[in-house]
Amino acid sequence: QSALTQPASVSGSPGQSITISCTGTSNDVGIYNSVSWYQQHPGKAPKLIIYDVSHRPSGISNRFSGSKSGNTASLTLSGLQAEDEADYYCSSKTTSSTLLFGGGTSLTVL
């Protein structure tokens, strides 16, 4: 199975909003509300920021939000801050009872 499709990179200025897309198929993103998003800073373990498409874990800023339409999920980050510069990964359950990650998106805060 191929990885979910994410843009390799996105960028934005402080205070702006950005959106990262995550495109799968009808065998994963399109059929399950099990899309999650992770933030990973260099040299660190990933951190859960969104689960079940749009839910934020305790302690995660409400500047992060998630949504899904058809086979594509999206992560929106509003009010960009320098500390948001990191890699972001989406994931989804599949019909094979496995999990796929996206290829990752590098966010640059200009």
Q: Which positions touch another protein (CB under 8 A)?
A: 1, 3, 32, 34, 36, 38, 40, 45-48, 51-52, 57, 89, 91-93, 97-104
User: Sheet harboring 18-23: ordered strands across?
Assistant: 18-23, 72-77, 64-69
Least separation in angstroms between residue 48's CB and another protein is: 5
Q: Residue 8 or 82: which CB sits closer to another protein?
A: 8
Q: Which is nearer to another protein, 78 or 103 (CB)?
A: 103
Q: Six-digit token pair at 95? A: 């019909």
Asked whether the beta carbons of 9 and 88 are under 8 A apart, the reply is no
Q: Are 90 and 50 in contact (CB under 8 A)?
A: no
- Tell me whether residue 12 or residue 66 sits nearer to another protein (CB atom): 66
